[in-house]
Chain A
């Protein structure tokens, strides 16, 4: 499947999806660390199921007077085999590409084109675990994953799937300048700002990220650009971060009447 070379994509762990409605959106692709944790969770769950059955078998055996009969050993082995080969596929079909472990880590299996997982593909990708696991501990799978831009292991490549992150995010908060700009402060700025759209956008992005930065880092970042803008506007730069906030306030005030 030739990837369309429309334009250069930034080097990033996201996959772009175009839906039948021609909506494009981006999924972050799940890296090995997250997937290993999900696998460990699933492994523990499978182990727990087996232990529960073993306890039942033991209690049943004790009731009959036999510590643990061969019959229950046979049954346990069959359950073990069912868990080994069908656990993932059953969950992925029931939960639309998720197992309990994947759900806990907000992972989902989708096709490389972003379509939902199909049964046959789920079966294939999980059978191929036998190859990814070799020689032990998913060594081959991890090496293959590390070499692929979408972190696909062999099973994903055969089945045409990838694992994406669907972590819930918070909606961006509204921008507040604290304390609000006074008319005196604003009057020191020119009516028409000599700044490009990109520069204004960069300032807005900085102001939105401000609360996540430490005060020192905030000052450091603001001090990189504020003097340039100040000299362009011919004003004195006293407080870099404050100046950027004022520029943003002026820009959005100019935009509003339109």
Chain B
């Protein structure tokens, strides 16, 4: 039977070599072939040493080997790389399929967003002072002022790209917050959907009441089909997450949550891509000088595109209903 010192003396060279290889790169596939196969061989013999030492050696040596094994394991099994085909099939197939599978959450999320939005518009239009009771007056006036000019000449170069930047950041934040707060048993998603629906509705109603409804409508119709839908999709993912925590079907809450994670990831990544598209449109197309009828036509096309995508993308041929 070998003593600990003898084991260390015999194996130390190999351990040191593995340590050097592992420290050279974050993942082994960045290294050359011989190093990779050498590292794999060293890792396997290290596994044997670990079993031996756990039975026979002092905790400090076992801790050293545990640590080395962990680092070698991380290096050997590097993180999943980003693959374009996988991402493409997520967009063309998995995301719309998952959304259809979770249609009830999408419907609920839409209702939670659109009904307060409609109420907001009606209140702001027909109830005097309703909007200014709820939202700060200065902000409302600022919005009305912003849309008073229209876009006949396009927005001045850069004059409003600051605004576009602000809204892109703001709206992406809204969408992701609608999703993330779903972890609180879905309540956060419910709150943020209603709150933001009401908010957007009130602002739209206020600007319309001020007489610039045509301008704000023309501006929003371009990116709206992507942006507002993405907020609703993110909300649906949040509701799905909350639902899995409440209705666990005999699993632990955590287990139920983990089981729904693949669906949630697909929905959120899909929403993120839609937000990216919306940001592009909001930055370049919506404030452009194109005549309003052209913008309306394009908006109608966008809406049709999104609807068709949700309904038909990723269906298997012959099984489409």
Contact = CB atoms under 8 A, between A and B. Distances in A.
Query: Closest 4 CB pairs between A and B?
Result: A71-B158, A77-B165, A74-B165, A74-B161
Contact of B183 (A73, A114, A119, A158): A158
Given A81-B169, A85-B172, A158-B261, 10 more contacts: A23-B69, A75-B165, A77-B162, A78-B168, A114-B70, A128-B180, A168-B23, A174-B9, A175-B4, A201-B58
Given A171-B8, A174-B5, A204-B58, A93 B79 contact: yes
Nearest to A20: B77
B168 A77 contact: yes
Interface of B: 1, 3-5, 8-9, 12, 15-16, 19, 23, 26-27, 44, 47, 50-51, 57-61, 63-71, 73-75, 77-82, 157-166, 168-169, 172-173, 176-177, 179-181, 183-184, 188, 241, 252, 254-255, 257-258, 261-262, 264-266, 268-269, 272, 279, 283
Given A124-B265, A175-B5, A119 B80 contact: yes
A27 B70 contact: yes
Contacts of B254: 1, 157
- Please indicate which of the listed interface residues A117, A130, A168 has the most CB atoms of chain B within 10 Å of its own CB: A130
The CB with the most chain A CB atoms within 10 A, among B169, B180, B261, B266, is that of: B180
A245 B5 CA distance: 15
A217 interface: no
Given A80-B169, A158-B257, A118 B158 contact: no
Interface residues of A, number: 74
20 contacts: A1-B255, A19-B73, A25-B70, A27-B66, A71-B161, A71-B162, A74-B161, A81-B168, A84-B173, A93-B81, A108-B74, A116-B74, A117-B79, A119-B79, A119-B82, A123-B268, A130-B176, A130-B179, A167-B67, A172-B60
Contacts of A94: 26
A71 B155 CA distance: 12
A101 interface: no
Nearest to A176: B5
Contacts of B82: 93, 119
Interface of A: 1-2, 17, 19, 21, 23-27, 69-78, 80-81, 84-85, 92-98, 108, 110, 114-124, 127-131, 134, 154, 157-160, 164, 166-172, 174-175, 201, 204-205, 208-209, 252, 255-256, 258
A131 B188 contact: yes
Given A130-B176, A166-B70, A116 B264 contact: no
Most chain B CB inside 10 Å of its own CB: which residue of A76, A127, A172: A172
Contacts of A26: 66, 70
Contacts of B257: 157-158
Nearest to A258: B1
A25 B73 contact: yes
Contact of A131 (B161, B181, B265): B181
A80 B172 CA distance: 12
B58 A2 contact: no
B181 A130 contact: yes
Contacts of B80: 93, 116-119
Given A116-B77, A123-B265, A255-B1, A74 B176 contact: no
Contacts of A123: 265, 268-269, 272
Contacts of A2: 252, 255
Nearest to B7: A172
A114 to B, nearest CB: 7
B74 A97 contact: yes
A252 B162 CA distance: 76
A97 B79 contact: yes
A216 B87 CA distance: 63
A88 B183 CA distance: 20
Nearest to A78: B165
Given A69-B158, A81-B172, A205 B79 contact: no
Contact of B44 (A17, A21, A121, A164): A21
Contacts of B180: 127-131
A75 B27 CA distance: 34
